[in-house]
A and B are shown apart, each in its own frame.
Chain A
Amino acid sequence: DTEVTQTPKHLVMGMTNKKSLKCEQHMGHRAMYWYKQKAKKPPELMFVYSYEKLSINESVPSRFSPECPNSSLLNLHLHALQPEDSALYLCASSQELDIPNQPQHFGDGTRLSIL
């Protein structure tokens, strides 16, 4: 069982829809991450939050909008997505951003399909 919970598990949306992906962890971690994973590829980092502040944005298009309302929650708001945005979206957390040797813990992801 994963300690990082993501909802929904599956999401189908049209290109004009607005939806949100949610991620929750109760391990007391202060760093949280969004990744995008295409089929047969490794995860690609999108955003990093540290202590609820955006630390890294890997040049992600503005149709993806992250939000960290508190230390346990991380959202990814989606608007006007394109078919190529269909992928598995993974959330991860770690103890703190700059503590050496600490692994990231991943959720099971949201499989997103854009029609």
Chain B
Amino acid sequence: GNSVTQMEGPVTLSEEAFLTINCTYTATGYPSLFWYVQYPGEGLQLLLKATKADDKGSNKGFEATYRKETTSFHLEKGSVQVSDSAVYFCALKHNAGNMLTFGGGTRLMVKP
């Protein structure tokens, strides 16, 4: 079946540091890949997505590239801010349906 594996957190960074959160997946066929962000006390917000190999999703300074050869979709940001502190979920959706498979989530804490 489908599965998503994320690096365990928490990830603690200083403001303006470079961020990488690793995400790898297992799926048959060609799934769509998503990053969702959950700020404290809120629901999930779609951060970015990629729907085919080599696509790069980007939003709010975050980006992730769909790498089929390594089955990865790592999230990166060049300079994090305190306001980026949140939990980040990597997820996939198989094109055969609309069910999301989530990774375990990675908590990011950014210190001033």
Q: Please, could you name 7 A-B residue pairs with CB atoms under 8 Å apart, sorted by A?
A: A41-B104, A45-B99, A48-B99, A90-B43, A90-B44, A100-B32, A108-B41
CA of A105 to CA of B49, assembled, Å: 13
Residues of A within 8 A of B99 (CB): 45, 48, 56
Q: Which listed residue (B34, B43, B97, B100) contacts A108, Cβ 8 A?
A: B43
Interface flag for A66 (CB, 8 Å): no
Contact A43 B44 (CB under 8 A): yes
Smallest CB gap from A102: residue in B: B98
Interface flag for B46 (CB, 8 Å): yes
Report A90-115 CB contacts with B as 1/0, cut-off 8 Å: 10101011111111111111000000
Smallest CB gap from A95: residue in B: B98
- A positions within 8 Å CB-CB of B: 2, 4, 6, 31, 40-43, 45, 48, 56, 90, 92, 94, 96-109
Interface flag for B42 (CB, 8 Å): yes
Contact B97 A101 (CB under 8 A): no
Contact A109 B34 (CB under 8 A): no
Contact B97 A98 (CB under 8 A): yes
Smallest CB gap from A40: residue in B: B105
Residues of B within 8 A of A31 (CB): 98
Residues of B within 8 A of A106 (CB): 36, 43-45
Interface flag for B89 (CB, 8 Å): yes
CA of A32 to CA of B51, assembled, Å: 21
- Given the interface pairs A98-B97, A101-B95, A103-B34, the reply to whether A43 lies near B46 with Cβ below 8 Å is no
Taking the closest CB of chain B, its distance from the CB of A44, in whole angstroms, is 9
Residues of B within 8 A of A43 (CB): 44, 102
Taking the closest CB of chain B, its distance from the CB of A63, in whole angstroms, is 23
